[in-house]
Amino acid sequence: MYLTYYGFTEKPFQLKPDPSFFFASQGHKRAAAYLEYGLSQEDGFIIITGEVGAGKTTLMRYLFQKLKRERVVAAQLVSTRLDPDDALRMVAAAFGLPYENLSKAALLLELEKFMRKCECEGTRALLVVDEAQNLLPQTLEELRMLSNFQSENRPLLQTFLLGQPEFRKTLLGNQMQQLRQRVIATYHLGPMDQAETRAYIEHRLQKAGWSGNPVLQDDIFEVIHNFSAGIPRKINLFFDRLLIMGCLEELQSLGKAEANEVILDMQKEFDLAVFSE
């Protein structure tokens, strides 16, 4: 609807993670640096945590694009509410290996054979586990055991764990001591400040072909930052609604008044949803 009205070439504030819209805030640049450092070490676990919607998955997909130019075979595990055996099956499936009706021993043999094949071909196996806060301690231990597959000088598998802040508490548990000893770097991806929130909005608009219409008044950015707390997904959700309203009311300029109107509408919808429950 508003794409044609404002002349955008694509939707600037979609909710799905899109690496082509990656914005390198200070926090995201540091998180990317930790991930790239981890890759260079070819060892251990790298852990990135952040609030829901902080941009962890977008960051990882951005890194995946860069990995296509390197000799890394990467697989992503998203469904993490799994018991240990199911987790192994999902890992095998993520790497394109057979997994149906295989015993645990057979799964481990398939995975080891695959990792050694990667090594012989001069590639490295990388497993990325998203939503790691949902992993059972026993499942985490099973993933740690995969790092025991070794060549002469390094592990055959490297693992990145992405999770919400509560995952850090899981790592402090008594059962996690061996895993903690394998962690070579960890970083918490925090929210963006107000200046970065503005730069993020303008970045996404420009990527979508923004030519200055609508005009964004300076006072709008403080309102958006306060509402979203600097979380990218909340900014996307809010600004998409703002552009819909701007299109419906045929506005070429958006400011504090329009932002507050959208906030009120969203709060009313939330209150109605809670009441209906």
Same domain? For 40 and 177 the reply is yes
Amino acid at 78: V
Flag whether 108 is in a domain: yes
- Bridge partners, 72 (sequence order): 124
Check which CATH number belongs to the domain holding 231 and give it. 1.10.8
C-alpha 211: how far from chain center: 29
Q: Are 186 and 46 in contact (CB under 8 A)?
A: yes
Asked whether the predicted pLDDT for residue 7 surpasses 70, the reply is yes
Same domain? For 255 and 184 the reply is no
Instruction: Spell out a b/e string for 203-225, using b for 16 or more CB atoms within 10 Å of the CB, else e.
Output: bbbebbebeeebebeeebbebbb
Flag whether 20 is in a domain: no
Weakest mean pLDDT among 84-98, 139-153, 243-257: 139-153
Rg of the chain in Å (alpha carbons): 22
Cα–Cα distance, 96 to 76 (Å, whole number): 11
Same domain? For 159 and 241 the reply is no
Same domain? For 197 and 172 the reply is no
For 125-168, write each residue's pLDDT tens digit: 999 999 999 998 889 989 999 988 988 778 899 999 999 999 99
Flag whether 19 is in a domain: no
Secondary structure letter of residue 256 according to DSSP: H
Cα–Cα distance, 44 to 107 (Å, whole number): 21
Same domain? For 99 and 201 the reply is no
Do you find a cis peptide bond into 165, omega within 30 degrees of 0?
A: no
Cα–Cα distance, 160 to 140 (Å, whole number): 12
Quote the number of domains for the chain.
2
Residue identified by tokens 């059962």 is: 175
For 35-85, write each residue's pLDDT tens digit: 888 888 888 899 999 999 999 989 888 887 877 666 888 888 887 788 888
Flag whether 21 is in a domain: no
Check which CATH number belongs to the domain holding 94 and give it. 3.40.50.300
Same domain? For 50 and 105 the reply is yes
pLDDT of residue 68: 64
Asked whether the predicted pLDDT for residue 100 surpasses 60, the reply is yes
CB atoms within 10 A of CB 43: 15
Same domain? For 158 and 211 the reply is no
Flag whether 251 is in a domain: yes
pLDDT of residue 69: 62
Same domain? For 155 and 182 the reply is yes
Treating both helix axes as pointing N-terminal to C-terminal, what angle do 220-228 and 256-276 enclose, rounded to 10 degrees?
20
Q: Whole domain around residue 87: which residue ranges?
A: 26-189
Q: Mean pLDDT across the chain, nearest whole number?
A: 90
pTM: 0.86
